[in-house]
Amino acid sequence: MNDLDMDSLLGDAEDEGPRRRSRGPSRRQQTRGRKRRRRTRRKGAAASLIAVVVIVAILGGGGYLAYNWVRGVMIPKDYTGQGSGEVTIEIAQGASAGEVAQTLEEEGVVASARAFINAVDAAGKGASLQPGSYVMRRQMSAAAAVTLLDPEHRLRSTLTIPEGHRLSKIFTTLATATGKSVDEFKEAARGDLGLPGYAKGRLEGYAFPATYELTPNMSASAILTRMVDRFNETAAKDDLEAEARKRGFTPHDIVTIASIVQAESGSQEDMPKVARVIYNRLAMNPPMKLQMDSTLMYGLNKYGIAATDEETRSDSKYNTYKFPGLPPGPIANPGDHAIQAALHPAKGDWIYFVTTDPAKGITKFTASEDEFWDLRDEFNRNNQ
């Protein structure tokens, strides 16, 4: 090969390099590149679509779970319908709606305490839940449970304890009314009933006579506590402790005097006069014995309005024919009128009284011993 031929070859070679570097890929290469890019975009789009679907599925599942969780919190479990069976629910005095709701849930009446509270709020009955016993059904809707807890549906009975009954008679009355035994009430009387300190732990005189509402589940202790509560309310209303101090007596003395007034009076109108006789006798120097048949009979565990000579010789500390001053404690359970009379006796100089006609409740008062014997004769004539 000559020099010209070599130069031509070299020149062609040198010229070829720059032309290839400057003109870019060929049409075939560009076509292949575009196809590759389309395939890549399609794969990327498909992957993105799959990712979106997966994310949506995850979010959708999570949303459903979250919805159920929120629903469980915001909409508590609740039964439907009126329920079935029978269960007695006791609402205690002073119980809150939350405490009632918890009891209903524990007894299987409602599905959840929260459902009941919501139903109470919806019905506007928060202040209407009253203590007592109610017959409910198990697995009731909360709304149905609220309806059955209306005070009109309470199981209850009323019992009136008259003024002046002794504690032993009250126990018998309560036992008959409730089906409990007398011994249950005697045992309960030894417990903590909320007696005032001046009662010295004795219930006699402090079981306040009134009409009480009783429910089937009330214990003997709960019943007696309610009676003591009524006494305490009356004592507070009458300002018993302060008024007793004004008269120079203890509150226990006043209750004792009131019990005698209750037992000896033929009528409410006589009570302040009977109280005055007691105070006049105690104020004498030396004090005159009270000589009350009612106190003597209590000590003998008897009933009567005229003691015999033999009975007046009893050694009982309640024998006011023998021992001066007040007996050791109340002989009965006085009502508010007798307590008021003991605190505010009538004005008068009487030191004697005789119930001349017990059947008609006629009692006569005098300051004269001679007139007293005349009144005794009148009593004897009326009771022949």
CATH number for the domain that contains residue 131? 3.30.1490.480
Same domain, 315 and 234: no
Check whether 56 has a pLDDT greater than 60: no
Peptide bond into 272 cis (omega under 30): no
Range among 4-18, 125-139, 359-373 rated most confident: 359-373
Tell me whether residue 310 is in a domain. Answer: yes
132, 153, 174: which is the final residue of a domain? 153
Give the model confidence (pLDDT) of 187-207 as tens digits: 999 999 999 999 999 999 999
Q: Is 380 helix (H, G, I), strand (E, B) or coil?
A: helix
Q: Are 338 and 265 in contact (CB under 8 A)?
A: yes
Neighbours of 88 (CB within 10 A): 13
Check whether 375 has a pLDDT greater than 70: yes
Same domain, 228 and 332: no
Tell me whether residue 59 is in a domain. Answer: no
Same domain, 192 and 255: no
Q: Looking at per-residue confidence, does 163 or 357 come out higher?
A: 163
Domain that holds residue 110: 84-153
Same domain, 365 and 292: yes
Q: From 209, 87, 202, 193, select the one nearest 139 (Cα to Cα).
A: 87
Separation between Cα atoms, residue 157 and residue 178, nearest integer Å? 10
Tell me whether residue 12 is in a domain. Answer: no
Check whether 160 has a pLDDT greater than 80: yes
Same domain, 360 and 278: yes
Separation between Cα atoms, residue 93 and residue 70, nearest integer Å? 36
pLDDT in the model for residue 29 = 52
User: Going along the chain, which residue ranges are E strands?
Assistant: 84-91, 132-138, 157-160, 211-214, 352-357, 362-366
Enumerate the β-bridge partners of residue 362.
Answer: 357
Q: Looking at per-residue confidence, does 133 or 204 come out higher?
A: 204
Tell me whether residue 180 is in a domain. Answer: yes
Sign of CA dihedral 195, 196, 201, 207: negative
Check whether 293 has a pLDDT greater than 80: yes
* Mean pLDDT calculated for residue range 127-134: 79
* Mean pLDDT calculated for residue range 335-357: 96
Share of the chain above pLDDT 90, in %: 62
Tell me whether residue 219 is in a domain. Answer: yes
Same domain, 333 and 347: yes
Q: From 106, 49, 109, 62, select the one nearest 84 (Cα to Cα).
A: 109
- Compute and round to an integer the Cα radius of gyration of the chain: 47
Tell me whether residue 29 is in a domain. Answer: no
Same domain, 135 and 213: no
332: alpha, beta or left? (left if phi > 0; alpha if psi -120 to 50): beta
Determine which of 63-67, 169-173, 176-180 has the lowest per-residue pLDDT on average.
63-67
Count of structural domains, the chain: 3
Determine which of 154-163, 237-246, 348-357 has the lowest per-residue pLDDT on average.
154-163
Count helices and strands in the chain by DSSP H and E runs: 14, 6
Check whether 177 has a pLDDT greater than 70: yes
Same domain, 253 and 217: no
Alpha carbon separation from 321 to 291, 295, 312, 338, 376 (Å, rounded): 4, 9, 6, 22, 16
Unique residue bearing structure tokens 């590149």: 33
Quote the distance between the C-alpha of residue 279 and its chain's center.
41
Check whether 186 has a pLDDT greater than 90: yes
Antiparallel, parallel or unpaired: β 132-138 and 157-160: unpaired
Q: Is 100 helix (H, G, I), strand (E, B) or coil?
A: helix
* Mean pLDDT calculated for residue range 323-350: 97
Unique residue bearing structure tokens 């079935």: 84
Q: Looking at per-residue confidence, does 55 or 99 come out higher?
A: 99
Q: pTM of the prediction?
A: 0.67
Determine which of 17-21, 115-119, 244-248, 255-259 has the lowest per-residue pLDDT on average.
17-21
pLDDT in the model for residue 4 = 40
Tell me whether residue 171 is in a domain. Answer: yes
* Mean pLDDT calculated for residue range 110-130: 87
Same domain, 227 and 264: no
Give the model confidence (pLDDT) of 12-40 as tens digits: 434 444 444 444 555 555 555 555 555 55
| Averaged pLDDT of the chain | 84
Same domain, 257 and 369: yes
Alpha carbon separation from 204 to 161, 166, 201, 267, 331 (Å, rounded): 14, 7, 9, 22, 7
Separation between Cα atoms, residue 13 and residue 7, nearest integer Å? 10
User: Going along 17-129, which residue ranges are E strands?
Assistant: 84-91
Please give the single-letter amino acid code of residue 261: V
Tell me whether residue 24 is in a domain. Answer: no
Q: How many residues does the chain have?
A: 384
Separation between Cα atoms, residue 326 and residue 341, nearest integer Å? 16
pLDDT in the model for residue 236 = 97
Check whether 55 has a pLDDT greater than 50: no
Model confidence at 3, pLDDT cuts 50, 70, 90, reads very low
Q: Looking at per-residue confidence, does 382 or 65 come out higher?
A: 382
Model confidence at 341, pLDDT cuts 50, 70, 90, reads very high
pLDDT in the model for residue 58 = 46
Check whether 9 has a pLDDT greater than 60: no
Same domain, 219 and 307: no
Same domain, 161 and 145: no
Unique residue bearing structure tokens 């003691």: 307
Q: Is 83 helix (H, G, I), strand (E, B) or coil?
A: coil
Separation between Cα atoms, residue 106 and residue 17, nearest integer Å? 95
